[in-house]
């Protein structure tokens, strides 16, 4: 059983939450801290540690002070549902992280808000329909197979290779190809390097106590802006080439260029197309790369699950390459992925800001407060999971039973749910099937993976492994 009921769950289901507009409620007091700046330092040094410390308090919500900021961390599915669904209009994205994303990539789907975001989502949504995404399956398998071919030379059981780096290359190849039909051999590699520079800088800025403004001409900022300008010009050129040729290319960019808002009939202008393309590239490849890396790691630690996975792949594929038509039959492969996304959700922390006063868990939430929802913490919450730290794919799949949608939410829920969820799940299934069919992975002896919680949940110092051909 993946989930067990609890007092807390019963309480959550009882909807005894006061509506957001009721009279003044008391505000939950801050968790005491001996530090003058409260939890600012610990949050910068070890944000995941702070969130897990808050989980350990076994409270419905925990309030921390970080400098002048007031932060509420939520641990109750009912409160999470409120923030993401019922009161979604109160809790917006005016956070430091999203401000940075806006400056760096333009106001794409990830950071935009209100009517503008709604319009963009309506225009982009058709490109993520099941039929459209399925059209990318072959490209996903081709990229995975190219990585397998590259691995053949090191698959001797003793050579160490960094699978985290390989996963970034594979997912970047897939993103560049499906998004803008760019080949990694040409502009794709440049896009990859520039994107890595931008993400690196983003992490530094968000984790810094007193970040230099992004426009300040520090050396790091100049390098970042050079990378951003390169990304912008590559994307602009692609858009111009396509406009000039009139050709309709069946990739995501082509679909965005052709798409009309069903309500207003409007299309995206070139600036917006650029912002959306760069956002998709950023949001779509590091997340999936990390999820695949952690999945391979979990398999190295769980020989029984690996054996079950290999049995399924051998039975369903009988030695041939995986294709779209196999996906439905690969139920255990999918459960492995779902369970890996539980233990290591790439979007490990979701932040929001109260745009006006709200109410959660019996406390007033003053305007301007930060709200933290952590899939990582909720996915390991002892009230909702049996043996939360144990890798057990049978929590999912046909035998798995119901899982609360606001306890397990690697792709979020509500109106801001990841638009690329179906894309990512298909990609991960096809890539994992291709790898595990051909290789067995072992972790480099003595290596202890460490979590690096930045924009996504990465392994610090990569993931060194040894491969043997099966
Ligand atoms: C395992 C892989 C992935 C995970 C875990 C993931 C997770 C998430 C999460 C948690 C959000 C919500 C962020 C927030 O509102 O604060 C999100 C939004 C988003 N994701 Fe993903 N994502 C993944 C893959 C992808 C892919 C492959 C794409 C594109 C092809 C993509 C594009 C987006 C976009 C555009 C948004 C913003 C949607 C909106 O607000 O309308 N993601 N993702």
User: What's the pLDDT score for residue 219?
Assistant: 87
Atom of ligand 1 minimally distant from the CA of 427: 27
Q: How much distance in Å is there from the Cα of 104 to the middle of ligand 1? A: 17
**Residues 425, 334 contacting (CB under 8 angstroms):** yes
Residue 15 pLDDT greater than 50, yes or no = no
- Percent of the chain past pLDDT 90, that is, above it, reads 67
Element housing 51 (H / E):
helix 47-56
Sign of CA dihedral 35, 36, 40, 45: negative
State mean pLDDT over 68-92.
97
Atom of ligand 1 minimally distant from the CA of 252: 30
The Cα–Cα gap between 193 and 180 comes to 16
| pLDDT band with cut points at 50, 70 and 90 for residue 188 | low
Nearest CA to ligand 1 atom 7: 411
- Percent of the chain past pLDDT 70, that is, above it, reads 93
Residue 73 pLDDT greater than 50, yes or no = yes
Give pLDDT tens digits for 234-292.
Answer: 888 888 888 888 888 888 888 889 888 888 888 899 999 999 999 998 888 899 999 99
| pLDDT band with cut points at 50, 70 and 90 for residue 209 | low
Residue 462 pLDDT greater than 70, yes or no = yes
User: What's the pLDDT score for residue 205?
Assistant: 78
Least confident of 124-133, 191-200, 208-217: 208-217
The Cα–Cα gap between 225 and 460 comes to 25
Q: Which of 357, 283, 232, 359 is nearest to 110 (CA)?
A: 283
To test the ligand 1 pocket, which listed residue (140, 420, 423, 453) has its Cβ within 8 A of the most ligand atoms?
A: 420
Residues in the chain: 470
State mean pLDDT over 72-92.
97
- Strand 363-365 with 350-354, pairing: unpaired
Give pLDDT tens digits for 320-373.
Answer: 999 999 999 999 999 999 999 999 999 999 999 999 999 999 999 999 999 999
Residue 448 backbone phi and psi in degrees, to 5: -110, 105
Atom of ligand 1 minimally distant from the CA of 112: 40
∠ CA 343-345-351 to the nearest 5 degrees? 130
Least confident of 72-76, 147-151, 251-255: 251-255
Q: Which two tokens stand for residue 410?
A: 């690697």
Q: How much distance in Å is there from the Cα of 283 to the middle of ligand 1? A: 6
Nearest CA to ligand 1 atom 2: 288
The Cα–Cα gap between 337 and 431 comes to 11
Nearest CA to ligand 1 atom 43: 418
The Cα–Cα gap between 40 and 33 comes to 10
Phi-psi sector, 342: left (phi>0), alpha (psi -120 to 50), beta: alpha
Give pLDDT tens digits for 380-437.
Answer: 999 999 999 999 999 998 887 889 999 999 999 999 999 999 999 999 999 999 999 9
Q: Which of 35, 86, 25, 63 is nearest to 415 (CA)?
A: 86
Phi-psi sector, 84: left (phi>0), alpha (psi -120 to 50), beta: alpha
Residue 9 pLDDT greater than 80, yes or no = no
Comparison of pLDDT for 216 and 33, the residue scoring more: 33
User: What's the pLDDT score for residue 249?
Assistant: 84
Atom of ligand 1 minimally distant from the CA of 345: 5
* List of residues 6+ apart from 392 with CB closer than 8 A: 2, 339
Residue 14 pLDDT greater than 50, yes or no = no
Q: How much distance in Å is there from the Cα of 284 to the middle of ligand 1? A: 7
Q: How much distance in Å is there from the Cα of 457 to the middle of ligand 1? A: 14
Q: How much distance in Å is there from the Cα of 286 to the middle of ligand 1? A: 11
Nearest CA to ligand 1 atom 24: 284
Q: How much distance in Å is there from the Cα of 334 to the middle of ligand 1? A: 19
> Ligand 1: residues within 6 Å at CB?
109-110, 121, 279-280, 283-284, 287-288, 291, 345-347, 350, 410-412, 416, 418-420, 423-424
Residue 461 pLDDT greater than 80, yes or no = yes
Roughly what angle, to the nearest 10 degrees, separates helices 96-105 and 219-245?
50
Q: Which of 362, 356, 369 is nearest to 18 (CA)?
A: 362
Q: How much distance in Å is there from the Cα of 291 to the middle of ligand 1? A: 13
To test the ligand 1 pocket, which listed residue (370, 418, 419) has its Cβ within 8 A of the most ligand atoms?
A: 418
Phi-psi sector, 414: left (phi>0), alpha (psi -120 to 50), beta: left
Instruction: Tell me whether residue 130 is exposed, middle or buried, using C-beta atoms within 10 angstroms of its C-beta: 0 to 12, 13 to 18, 19 or more.
Output: exposed
User: What's the pLDDT score for residue 31?
Assistant: 96
Q: Which two tokens stand for residue 213?
A: 């403004």
State mean pLDDT over 441-469.
94
Reduced to 3 states (helix: H, G, I; strand: E, B; else coil), residue 462 is coil
User: What's the pLDDT score for residue 207?
Assistant: 67
Nearest CA to ligand 1 atom 20: 418
Comparison of pLDDT for 161 and 12, the residue scoring more: 161
Domains of the chain: 7-469 (1.10.630.10)
């Amino acid at each position: 059983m993946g989930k067990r009921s609890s007092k807390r769950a019963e309480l959550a289901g009882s909807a005894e939450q006061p509506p957001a507009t009721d009279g003044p409620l008391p505000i939950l007091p801050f968790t005491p801290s001996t530090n003058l700046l409260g939890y600012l330092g610990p949050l910068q040094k070890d944000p995941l540690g702070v969130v897990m410390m808050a989980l350990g308090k076994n409270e419905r919500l925990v309030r921390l002070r970080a400098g002048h900021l007031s932060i509420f961390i939520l641990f109750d599915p009912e409160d999470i549902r409120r923030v993401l669904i019922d009161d979604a209009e109160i809790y917006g994205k005016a956070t430091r992280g999203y401000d940075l994303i806006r400056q760096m990539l333009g106001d794409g789907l990830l950071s935009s808000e209100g009517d503008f975001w709604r319009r963009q989502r309506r225009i982009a949504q058709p490109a993520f329909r099941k039929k459209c995404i399925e059209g990318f399956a072959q490209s996903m398998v081709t990229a995975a197979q190219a990585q397998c071919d590259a691995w053949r030379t090191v698959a001797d059981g003793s050579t160490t290779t960094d699978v985290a780096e390989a996963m970034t290359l594979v997912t970047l190849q897939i993103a560049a190809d499906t998004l803008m039909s760019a080949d990694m051999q040409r502009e794709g590699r440049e896009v990859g390097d520039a994107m890595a520079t931008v993400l690196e800088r983003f992490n530094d800025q968000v984790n810094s106590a007193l970040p230099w403004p992004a426009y300040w001409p520090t050396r790091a900022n100049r390098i970042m802006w050079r990378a951003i300008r390169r990304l912008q010009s590559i994307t602009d050129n692609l858009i111009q080439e396509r406009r000039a040729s009139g050709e309709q290319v069946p990739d995501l960019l082509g679909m965005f260029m052709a798409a009309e808002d069903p309500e207003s009939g409007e299309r995206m202008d070139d600036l917006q197309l650029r912002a959306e393309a760069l956002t998709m590239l950023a949001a779509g490849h590091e997340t999936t790369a990390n999820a695949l890396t952690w999945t391979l790691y979990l398999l190295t630690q769980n020989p029984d699950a690996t054996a079950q996975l290999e049995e399924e792949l051998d039975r369903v594929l009988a030695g041939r390459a995986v294709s779209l038509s196999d996906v439905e039959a690969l139920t255990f492969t999918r459960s492995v992925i779902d369970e890996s996304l539980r233990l290591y959700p790439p979007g490990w922390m979701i932040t929001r800001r109260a745009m006006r006063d709200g109410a959660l868990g019996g406390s007033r939430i003053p305007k301007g407060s930060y709200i933290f929802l952590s899939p990582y913490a909720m996915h390991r919450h002892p009230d909702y999971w049996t043996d939360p730290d144990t890798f057990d794919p049978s929590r999912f799949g046909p035998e798995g039973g119901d899982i609360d949608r606001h306890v397990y939410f690697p792709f979020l829920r509500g109106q801001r749910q990841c638009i690329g969820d179906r894309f990512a799940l298909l990609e991960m299934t096809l890539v994992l099937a291709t790898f595990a069919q051909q290789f067995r992975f072992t972790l480099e002896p003595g290596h202890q993976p460490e979590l690096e919680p930045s924009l996504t949940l990465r392994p610090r110092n990569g993931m060194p492994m040894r491969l043997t051909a099966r």
